C-alpha cells in the first residue's frame, strides 16, 4: 500500500490503487478496500477506486452493497460509470424493471446510453422485442440508438425472424445505420446456414458493406463444409481486402478439414502479404499443435520469406523464431 502511495505518476498510481482494492473486494474484504480508497487525498482517485469497488461488487451480484457505495461517489462521471455497471449486472440477471429504474439515477449521458443499450439488448435476447425496440428509441445518443437497433436486428435474424429484422433495419435513421444492420442480419442468416437468403440480403447492401457481407457469408459457407460454394462467393468480391478476408476463413476451414496442401495453396492466392502470412501462421500453428512439426516449420519459413520480400525483415525473423519456439526446436 505504501508503494502505491509513493507513485507520483498518476496513471500507474490509479492502476495500483484499483488493483489493490479489486483484489480486496474479490477476497471479500470490502470494508478494507473502501478504507484504502478513502485514504487518498485526491478526490478523483478516490472516486475512481470507489467506482472500481462498485464494479467488482456488481459483477459478484452484491447489488445493494454496490449501490450503497455508488451513492457516496461525488464525481458525476465515475458515479455514472458505477451505476451503469450495476444496471448491466441487473439486466444480465433478468431484473429488467429494477435496471430501468436505476437508469433514472444516472446523470452522465454516455453512461446512461450504455445502460439503456444493455437493457434493450437483454430484452431482445429474452424475446421481448417490442419492448427492446421502444427502449432503444429512448437512448439519448443517436449513434448508440442505431447501434442498439442493429444489435436487436441481428438477434431477430438469429432467431429466424428475418423479415422483422430487415424491417427494423429500415427504420434506422442515421445515415450509416441501415447498411451495417443489413450486414449483421446477412451474417446471422449465413451463420444459421441459409446461404441463399444471406446472399439475397447482401445484394441489397451498398457496395463497401456488401463486400464485407459476402466475405462473412463465404466464411460461414466454408465452415458448413461447402468449400466450393464459399470459393464461388469469394470470387464475386470486388475489393482485394474483403476477398482476402474471405479466403482467410476458407483456408482455415480447409485446414481444419485436414486438407493442408489445398489450404496452403489457397492462402498463397491472397494478394495482401500481411494477411497471407497471417493465414499461413494459423495453419502452421494448427499443424504444430497436431504434432506435424516438419510441415509447420516449412510453412513458417514460407511466412518469413513472404514478409522478407515485402521489406519486413524484423517481422520475418520474429515469425520464424516464434514458430521454432512453438514447435519446440
User: Per-residue pLDDT for 326 more than 70?
Assistant: no
Say which range, 41-55, 229-243, 309-323, has the weakest mean pLDDT: 309-323
At 13 the pLDDT is: 54
At 6 the pLDDT is: 43
Cell digits for 81?
460509470
At 4 the pLDDT is: 41
Q: What is the mean pLDDT of residues 35-53?
A: 74
Annotate 148-217 with DSSP letters as a single string. HHHHHHHHHHHTT-HHHHHHHHHT--STTTHHHHHHHHHHHHHHTT-HHHHHHHHTTS-HHHHHHHHHHH
Q: Residue 277 — very low, low, confident or very high, per pLDDT cuts 50/70/90? A: confident
pLDDT tens digit sequence for 62-74 = 899 888 888 888 8
Q: What percent of the chain has pLDDT over 90?
A: 18
User: Per-residue pLDDT for 16 more than 50?
Assistant: yes
Q: Mean pLDDT over all residues of the chain?
A: 81
At 2 the pLDDT is: 42
pLDDT tens digit sequence for 226-260 = 999 999 999 999 888 999 999 999 998 998 888 88
pLDDT tens digit sequence for 175-203 = 665 778 888 889 988 988 889 989 998 99
Least Cα distance to 81 among 121, 34, 47, 42 occurs for 47
* 267 burial type by CB count under 10 A (0-12 exposed, 13-18 middle, 19+ buried): buried
Cell digits for 278?
497471417
At 210 the pLDDT is: 92
pTM of the model: 0.63
Please count the other Cβ atoms lying within 10 Å of the Cβ belonging to residue 293. 14
User: Per-residue pLDDT for 51 more than 70?
Assistant: yes
With beta carbons less than 8 A apart as the criterion, state whether 250 and 237 touch: no
Amino acid at each position: 500500500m505504501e508503494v502505491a502511495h509513493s507513485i507520483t505518476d498518476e496513471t500507474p498510481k490509479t492502476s495500483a490503487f484499483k488493483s489493490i482494492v479489486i483484489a480486496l473486494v474479490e477476497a471479500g474484504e470490502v470494508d478494507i478496500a473502501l478504507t484504502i480508497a478513502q485514504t487518498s487525498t485526491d478526490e478523483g482517485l478516490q472516486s475512481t477506486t470507489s467506482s472500481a469497488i462498485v464494479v467488482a461488487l456488481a459483477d459478484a451480484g452484491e447489488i445493494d452493497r454496490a449501490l450503497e457505495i455508488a451513492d457516496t461517489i461525488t464525481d458525476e462521471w465515475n458515479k455514472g460509470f458505477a451505476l451503469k455497471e450495476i444496471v448491466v449486472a441487473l439486466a444480465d440477471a433478468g431484473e429488467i424493471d429494477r435496471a430501468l429504474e436505476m437508469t433514472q439515477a444516472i446523470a452522465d449521458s454516455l453512461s446512461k446510453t450504455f445502460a439503456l443499450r444493455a437493457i434493450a439488448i437483454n430484452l431482445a435476447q429474452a424475446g421481448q422485442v417490442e419492448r427492446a425496440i421502444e427502449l432503444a428509441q429512448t437512448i439519448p445518443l443517436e449513434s448508440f440508438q442505431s447501434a442498439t437497433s442493429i444489435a436487436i436486428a441481428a438477434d431477430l435474424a438469429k432467431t429466424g425472424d428475418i423479415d422483422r429484422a430487415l424491417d427494423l433495419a429500415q427504420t434506422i435513421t442515421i445515415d450509416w445505420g441501415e447498411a451495417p444492420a443489413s450486414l449483421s442480419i446477412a451474417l446471422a442468416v449465413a451463420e444459421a446456414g441459409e446461404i441463399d437468403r444471406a446472399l439475397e440480403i447482401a445484394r441489397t447492401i451498398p457496395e463497401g458493406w456488401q463486400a464485407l457481407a459476402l466475405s462473412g457469408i463465404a466464411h460461414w459457407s466454408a465452415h458448413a463444409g461447402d468449400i466450393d460454394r464459399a470459393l464461388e462467393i469469394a470470387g464475386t468480391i470486388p475489393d482485394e481486402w474483403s476477398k482476402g478476408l474471405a479466403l482467410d476463413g476458407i483456408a482455415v476451414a480447409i485446414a481444419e478439414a485436414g486438407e493442408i496442401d489445398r489450404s496452403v495453396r489457397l492462402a498463397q492466392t491472397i494478394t495482401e502479404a500481411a494477411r497471407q502470412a497471417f493465414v499461413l501462421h494459423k495453419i502452421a500453428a494448427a499443424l504444430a499443435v497436431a504434432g506435424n512439426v516438419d510441415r509447420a516449420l516449412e510453412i513458417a519459413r514460407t511466412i518469413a520469406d513472404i514478409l522478407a520480400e515485402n521489406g519486413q525483415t524484423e517481422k520475418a525473423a520474429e515469425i520464424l523464431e516464434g514458430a521454432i519456439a512453438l514447435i519446440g526446436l
